[in-house]
Structure 1
Amino acid sequence: MDLGLAGKTAIVTGATANIGRAIVLGLAAEGMIVIAVGRDADAGATLVAQCQDIGAASAHFVQADLTDPLAPAHIMATAAALGTVSVLVNNVGGNVGAGFFADSDPATWAGDIDLNLGTLLRMTHAVLPGMIAHKTGAIVNIGSTAGLVGDYMLPVYSAAKAAVHGFTKVLAKEVGQHGVRVNCVAPYGTISRDPAAFSKGSRFHPDSNFFAKAFAGTSPEDMAKRSRQTVLGRPVAFAEEVASLAIYLASDQAGFITGQVYPVDGGSLL
């Protein structure tokens, strides 16, 4: 199937690990000009080389922390030399910590909200004028099933992802008249099959120990409440499965789809 993406330019944030990396590689295989954004320069250089090997029209890495309000301008400066941005994938996200809302420190709330929602708003705001001016574009936001049902012990993260879903719908209503589509992919737990696919900033990197620290002291009963059963015989999605839907939504083949939130959850919400 010709997705109609060859030669067009895409920006993918959170690009050096897991879902973001899989999306970048998938877009590169379609012959796109890819701009991969992340914090890990070594992982970025490796990713650019991989993109070039599999057929990207060209590949570029921009080292940036999307929680920095100046980052979008830095990214767009690179994009300006590469032509009109046709695709934006807002993939940056994650939870800063975990626990019950009643026990939370209000000072930590802004971290989850900005990482998941603020970064997306700023990056979209930077890209959108060009898409509107050229009367074309596709934005794919990466949400979460947490935003659909609420993940136990992740109250602010779940609320922020629900906001991503809501923003997807209202933005689609606003910009459809300009030929711009906006959709959202909402994965359940997702991991790459390639153990080398996690950059130093990834929560899944072996050195991060993120999940052990985030849920330290959590009772077995509460950990059991965090789990949702899938119906497909495995508990997680693979990154490429999430990426394939994001790439389709970015493509011309999805030209009449906008304002939708699609779970990739193995049937866990059934």
Structure 2
Amino acid sequence: MDMQLTGRVAIVTGATANIGRAISLGLAAEGAALVAVGRDVDAGARLVDQAIAAGTEKARFVAADLGDPAAPALIMAAASELGDVAILINNVGGNVGAGFFADSDPASWAGDIDLNLGTMLRMTHAVLPDMIARKTGAIVNIGSTAGLVGDYMLPVYSAAKAAVHGFTKVLAKEVGQHGVRVNCVAPYGTVSRDPAAFSKGSRFHPDSNFFGRAFASTSPKDMEKRSRQTVLGRPVAYAEEVASLAVYLASDQAGFITGQVYPVDGGSLL
């Protein structure tokens, strides 16, 4: 299916690893002009080369930390060199740690909230005025099944992702009259089949050991409670499976779809 994205400027945050990388390459394969945002400059350079090989004529990497309130202005300035922004993929997210809420340090809550919700709010706020003025645009937020059912031992992360889902719906109501669509993809656990697909900042990078540290003191009983069964014979989604839905929602093929939250969960919510 031709998504008719050739030449349209698309910003993807968290673009250098896993879901963000797959979405970036999916958009590039459809001919979109890619503005890939991340912190790993080496991974960003590789992604630009891969995007051009995939089919786009224009791709650039913007080194930025979305935790910095000044980052959206930097990103928009870089994107403007390619043209008007038609697509925003708010992909930055993840959990800072794990554990029970009663045991949590209140000082840690802001990290999960800003990483998952604050970054999305700031980037969306940056792109909307021009989209509204031009009466067109597509925003795709990456949520999580954690925001639908609540992931055990991830209380603040789950709440932040639920907020992403809620914001998707209310923003769609606000901006639909201006021709701007807003949707959300809510993946279950997702990994890339390419071991080289994880940048240095990724929780899945071999040097990270993020999950080993986050759940180091978790009992086997609690780890069992954390698991959810899929109905498809494997426990995770592949990044490309999440990306294909995001690319579709960003395209005019989904021109009558807005305000929706779509799980990519292998039937785990069943």
- Fold shared, TM-score > 0.5 on shorter chain: yes
**Given residue 114 of structure 2, which amino acid in structure 1 is its aligned partner?**
D
Aligned-residue offset at 1:137: 0.3
**Given residue 256 of structure 1, which amino acid in structure 2 is its aligned partner?**
F
Residue in structure 2 matched with residue 83 of structure 1 by the alignment:
83
Residue in structure 1 matched with residue 183 of structure 2 by the alignment:
183
Determine the C-alpha separation between the residues in 1 that align with 2:46 and 2:2. 27
Residue in structure 1 matched with residue 6 of structure 2 by the alignment:
6
Question: Aligned with 2:185: secondary structure?
Answer: strand
Task: Kindly report the root-mean-square deviation, in angstroms, between the aligned alpha carbons of the 2 structures.
Answer: 0.4
Structure 2 segments unaligned to the other structure (5+ residues): none
Residue in structure 2 matched with residue 204 of structure 1 by the alignment:
204
1:119 aligns with 2:128: no
**Given residue 105 of structure 2, which amino acid in structure 1 is its aligned partner?**
D
Residue in structure 1 matched with residue 149 of structure 2 by the alignment:
149
Aligned-residue offset at 1:57: 2.3
State TM-score, norm by structure 2. Answer: 1.00
Q: Deviations along 1:209-247, whole A, 9 cap, x unmatched? A: 000000111000000000000000000000000000000
Residue in structure 2 matched with residue 243 of structure 1 by the alignment:
243
Q: Deviations along 1:111-170, whole A, 9 cap, x unmatched? A: 000000000000000011110011000000000000000000000000000000000000
Residue in structure 1 matched with residue 162 of structure 2 by the alignment:
162
1:253 aligns with 2:253: yes
Determine the C-alpha separation between the residues in 1 that align with 2:4 and 2:130. 19
Q: Deviations along 1:75-97, whole A, 9 cap, x unmatched? A: 00101111110000000000000
1:65-76 residue pairs with structure 2 within 5 A?
Answer: 65-76=65-76
Q: Deviations along 1:164-191, whole A, 9 cap, x unmatched? A: 0000000000000000000000000000
State TM-score, norm by structure 1. Answer: 1.00
Determine the C-alpha separation between the residues in 1 that align with 2:250 and 2:136. 11
Structure 1 segments unaligned to the other structure (5+ residues): none
Identity of aligned residues (%): 84
Give the ranges of 4+ consecutive aligned residues of structure 1 lying more than 3 Å apart after TM superposition.
Answer: none
Question: Aligned with 1:244: secondary structure?
Answer: helix
Aligned-residue offset at 1:3: 0.8
Aligned-residue offset at 1:54: 1.4
**Given residue 218 of structure 2, which amino acid in structure 1 is its aligned partner?**
T
Determine the C-alpha separation between the residues in 2 that align with 1:237 and 1:12. 20
How many residues align? The count is: 270
Residue in structure 2 matched with residue 102 of structure 1 by the alignment:
102
Determine the C-alpha separation between the residues in 2 that align with 1:186 and 1:57. 30
Question: Aligned with 2:216: secondary structure?
Answer: coil
